Structure 1
Amino acid sequence: MDLVVNGHRSYCYTGGKAFDAAKPSVVFIHGVLNDHSVWILQTRWFANHGWNVLAVDLPGHCRSEGPPPASVEEAAQFVVALLDAAGIGKAALVGHSFGSLIALEAAARAPQRVTHLALVGTAYPMTVSPALLDAALNDPQRAIDMVNTFSHSLLAPPPSSLGPGTWVYGGSRALMRRVLASNREVNVFHIGFKACNDYANGEAAIAAVQCPILFLLGDADQMTPARATRALIAKASGAAQVLTVRAGHQLMSEAPDEVLFALRDFLSAAR
């Protein structure tokens, strides 16, 4: 599904179902050097169980046009504008990593429009090491290898992950290379990491959120370790839930069923 947002064509995967504004809606937001496809299992399930699904490619990524957001705040404004373009009054927001910060900021900026907020593989501050920032800028292929080493646990993916023969590391690396190559004008890798590193409004944003919040974390996450969420959790309302699953940073591929079931249970109250 293509929408015009801020004057640019923006692509959203709908899970194979036609968009129906009368249904409850959930927006999925990917992380740095990812795209809508990281949510493939979760989006298809929700689309086939009575939900509108909008799994967006962020601006400047893959099938979406426009400059990539240079800050979390800019990306959050895009999400709010996306709701306008789709004619959606209210939606649940689900974000992973960089996408979790975007979802958080959007929920703080438009609290009346967000029914539920799920922060997957999140942390605040989301500090990126100087070495990784430099590699993302000057040697992105090496940085992709570094990120994939840190983003996955040593656990073998469960049989339900993507089927026999699935190579989680290889699939993630191929996706990141494809996303990087999708924009020849700017380095979306470095821009995204710098936006994560520079974001300084997390505690104020979480205090402004008015909807239920789910923190969905990986117990073997080296990119955004569970302990790095303490500040956000402490500032969240009493309605916040915290769930930890056996996975690294790429929870959706390492623990796909657990992520799906957690989101299903959490969002069921939004129906």
Structure 2
Amino acid sequence: MTPQVVFVHGIRTSATMWRAQVEHLTAAGVGAIAVDLPGHGRRMSETFTLDGAFETIDTAVRDAAARGPVLLVAHSMGGLVAIEYMGREEPPPVDAFIAAGCTSIPRGAGLAIYRALARGFDRLPRRGQPLADLVLDRTLPPETRADFGAGGYAYDTQDIALRSLSVLDLVVALQRISVPMWFVNGQWDQLRLNERLFTKLKPEAELIVVPRTSHLVTAMRPRVFNAIVDLALATMARDRPTSG
């Protein structure tokens, strides 16, 4: 059976953020699918809910599992949701897990500040997109620069999604995850806030911090991130039982 990789995007962006990874895996003969969560990308008209996000991930995972062992890769908000999904009492059919840019507990003052900043950007001309474009132009390489916005930006979903994250119990979820796991952060990632707690709760997981890289590690260092995905796939192949 052929390994399968399911990608889950972060807040405001869409499945298009994973273009470099999907192309890399497709060229290697590995199955790859990037989903759009409710309220994002091709599903912009829908309302974001956690239940809808869990259902989206679960549907993609179970469909992929019918074709081969599954690696789940998720970023930022998608990573937080995926941690909760992976920590269910009945484990989903996932063989390995990469959680990128999401080592932060989305509660309390930190979440409140993040929401306030997002609402502040919404009040700027064009909801702050010119400033965001300037940052992306200066930090992302040409090969991935267009990927974050190719599916549109989910402005109207952002606060709804952020507010919903406060009910996640990541402390419990992390301790239930039993498959090989990697935390991947950029050196300058603002969501490294609880990195030590996450690695303490999941000591067998590997922490990879990419130097001179922002929160957008998947697009800022696409070749490095592709290599991490390859590492996870190699680990899955090593650990897979052989017949005969």
TM-score by length of 2: 0.79
Check whether the contact 1:221–1:248 (CA below 8 A) recurs between aligned residues. Answer: yes
Find out whether 1:265 has 2:231 as its counterpart: yes
**RMSD after superposition:** 3.1
Partner of 2:209: 244
Find out whether 1:142 has 2:127 as its counterpart: yes
User: Deviation digits for residues 195-221 of structure 1, max 9, x if unmatched?
Assistant: 33x143111000011101100100011
Partner of 2:241: none
Q: Which of 98, 101, 113 lines up with 1:118 in the alignment?
A: 98
SS in structure 1 opposite 2:38? Answer: coil
Partner of 1:255: 221
SS in structure 1 opposite 2:49? Answer: coil
Partner of 1:18: none
| Matches of 2:224 and 2:17, distance apart in 1 | 15
SS in structure 2 opposite 1:114? Answer: coil
Partner of 2:56: 78
Structure 1 residue 77 displacement after superposition: 3.4
Shift in CA distance, 112/70, structure 1 to aligned 2, threshold 3 Å: closer
1:214 alignment partner AA: W
| Matches of 1:77 and 1:26, distance apart in 2 | 17
Check whether the contact 2:71–2:95 (CA below 8 A) recurs between aligned residues. Answer: yes
Identity of aligned residues (%): 22
1:243 alignment partner AA: I
Check whether the contact 2:65–2:93 (CA below 8 A) recurs between aligned residues. Answer: no
2:59 alignment partner AA: A
Structure 1 residue 227 displacement after superposition: 4.0
TM-score by length of 1: 0.72
Partner of 1:8: none
Find out whether 1:191 has 2:160 as its counterpart: yes
| Matches of 1:38 and 1:51, distance apart in 2 | 18
SS in structure 1 opposite 2:34? Answer: strand
Shift in CA distance, 236/49, structure 1 to aligned 2, threshold 3 Å: same
Partner of 1:221: 189
SS in structure 2 opposite 1:118? Answer: strand
Structure 1 residue 112 displacement after superposition: 4.5
Higher relative contact order (CA 8 A, sep 6+): 2
Q: Which of 140, 152, 175 lines up with 1:207 in the alignment?
A: 175
Partner of 1:58: 37
| Matches of 2:125 and 2:202, distance apart in 1 | 35
Find out whether 1:162 has 2:133 as its counterpart: no
User: Deviation digits for residues 4-36 of structure 1, max 9, x if unmatched?
Assistant: xxxxxxxxxxxxxxxxxx422110000001111
Find out whether 1:235 has 2:213 as its counterpart: no
1:248 alignment partner AA: S
Shift in CA distance, 74/205, structure 1 to aligned 2, threshold 3 Å: farther
Check whether the contact 2:182–2:206 (CA below 8 A) recurs between aligned residues. Answer: yes
Where structure 2 has 5 or more consecutive residues not aligned to the other structure, the ranges are: 238-244
Check whether the contact 1:36–1:57 (CA below 8 A) recurs between aligned residues. Answer: yes
User: Deviation digits for residues 20-68 of structure 1, max 9, x if unmatched?
Assistant: xx42211000000111111111111112223211101112322237734
Partner of 1:180: 154
Shift in CA distance, 45/27, structure 1 to aligned 2, threshold 3 Å: same
Check whether the contact 1:111–1:211 (CA below 8 A) recurs between aligned residues. Answer: no
Instruction: Pick the structure with more helix per residue.
Output: 2
